[in-house]
């Protein structure tokens, strides 16, 4: 005999969530729509993202940022909905209604793609100035003599960016899956321009090499820092699970016992070693710019960790450490 599901049973199987979503198109302009979705009782944020994607195809999940609304005039940061959690976790009490603020993050690209393109440029551009007669096309007609320091600089440079690409695919675990596409153009402009700028002067026919002792000290110190930088990345990798989650933890071990951002420390010092060995204005300009960028990142991370691990409510207290550049900062 055919059995029919009564409306009462249906109500027990499904719960109706009225989601009033405020969409932002990346600017100040806003528009609203009422989104009615039939979801099972334990529906997740990820399922809501898929429902939004089905309604508007261009809003794929990684392009969406879903937050809880803030009271008018509030300056606090909104709560970002975790895609793994149930929507019911964000409901007020037993309410079946939920208001979600939707922001379009714009076209996205994976962090691995972003890092690959920004690093492949310097890796390919630098050897062009070493191997090919670039300077003849730029008006230099004299004979070019390649000094040993220029050859070692090529090896050092290529090893560094090859290492970065390998770390991107096999070491790094990202807390955020994607980045705005615009960052690809910005980061490529930064790395590719500085790569060409430094390569031009280090490989120039009129380049004057430093002494052998200075070259050995510079490259020796730089290689040591590159190896240390790799080990720092391994330690950071172990703080996160394979899917990039794990939350904030106090980095420990090796240089992290004395420096909050030891990975940035070794990055800066390895470029200092390169510049001691090659000694060009272009190289030192790159070092100064990189120092200021990474110092800002390190300060933000240091303050965030100190605030999070304040020793209250059973939390460990963040230890006293240098921020990025011992013995100065």
Per-residue pLDDT of the chain (329 residues; tens, 9 = 90+): 444 333 333 333 344 444 444 444 434 445 454 455 555 556 788 888 898 888 888 889 998 888 888 888 788 888 888 888 888 788 776 566 777 888 888 899 999 999 999 999 999 999 999 999 999 998 888 888 999 999 999 999 999 999 999 999 999 988 777 999 999 999 999 999 999 999 999 999 999 999 999 999 999 999 999 999 999 999 999 987 665 556 678 999 999 999 999 999 999 999 999 999 999 999 999 999 999 999 999 999 999 999 989 888 888 999 999 999 888 88
pTM here is 0.84
167: buried, middle or exposed (CB in 10 Å: 19+, 13-18, 0-12)?
Answer: middle
Size of the chain in residues:
329
Q: Residue 233's Cα: distance from chain center in Å?
A: 13
Beta-carbon contacts of 36 under 8 Å, excluding residues fewer than 6 positions away, are 16, 18, 19
Give the Å distances, CA to CA, from 270 to 174, 224, 257.
23, 8, 20
């Amino acid at each position: 005999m055919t059995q029919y599901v009564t409306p009462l049973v249906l109500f027990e199987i499904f719960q109706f969530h009225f989601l009033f979503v405020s969409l932002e198109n990346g600017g100040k302009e806003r528009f609203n729509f009422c989104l009615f979705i039939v979801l099972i009782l334990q529906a997740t944020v990820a399922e809501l993202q898929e429902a939004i994607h089905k309604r508007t195809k261009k809003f794929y999940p990684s392009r969406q940022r879903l937050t809880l609304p803030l009271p008018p005039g509030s300056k606090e940061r909104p709560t970002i909905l975790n895609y793994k959690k149930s929507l019911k976790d964000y409901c007020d009490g037993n309410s079946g209604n939920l208001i979600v603020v939707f922001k379009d993050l714009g076209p996205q690209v994976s962090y691995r793609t972003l890092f690959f393109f920004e690093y492949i440029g310097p890796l390919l551009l630098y050897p062009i100035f070493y191997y090919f007669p670039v300077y003849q096309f730029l008006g230099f007609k004299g004979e070019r003599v390649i000094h040993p320091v220029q050859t070692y600089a090529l090896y050092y440079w290529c090893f560094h960016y090859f290492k970065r690409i390998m770390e991107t695919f096999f070491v790094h675990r990202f807390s955020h899956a994607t980045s705005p596409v615009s960052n690809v153009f910005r980061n490529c402009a930064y790395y590719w321009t500085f790569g060409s700028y430094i390569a031009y002067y280090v490989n120039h026919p009129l380049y004057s090499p430093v002494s052998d002792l200075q070259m050995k000290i510079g490259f020796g110190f730089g290689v040591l820092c590159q190896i240390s930088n790799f080990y720092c990345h391994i330690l950071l990798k172990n703080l996160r699970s394979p899917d990039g989650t794990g939350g904030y933890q106090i980095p420990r071990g090796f240089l992290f016992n004395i420096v909050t951002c030891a990975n940035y420390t070794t990055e800066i010092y390895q470029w200092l070693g390169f510049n001691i060995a090659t000694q060009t204005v272009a190289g030192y300009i790159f070092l100064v710019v990189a120092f200021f960028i990474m110092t800002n990142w390190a300060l933000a991370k240091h303050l965030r960790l100190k605030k999070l691990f304040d020793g209250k409510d059973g939390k460990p207290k963040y230890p006293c450490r240098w921020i990025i550049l011992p013995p100065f900062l």
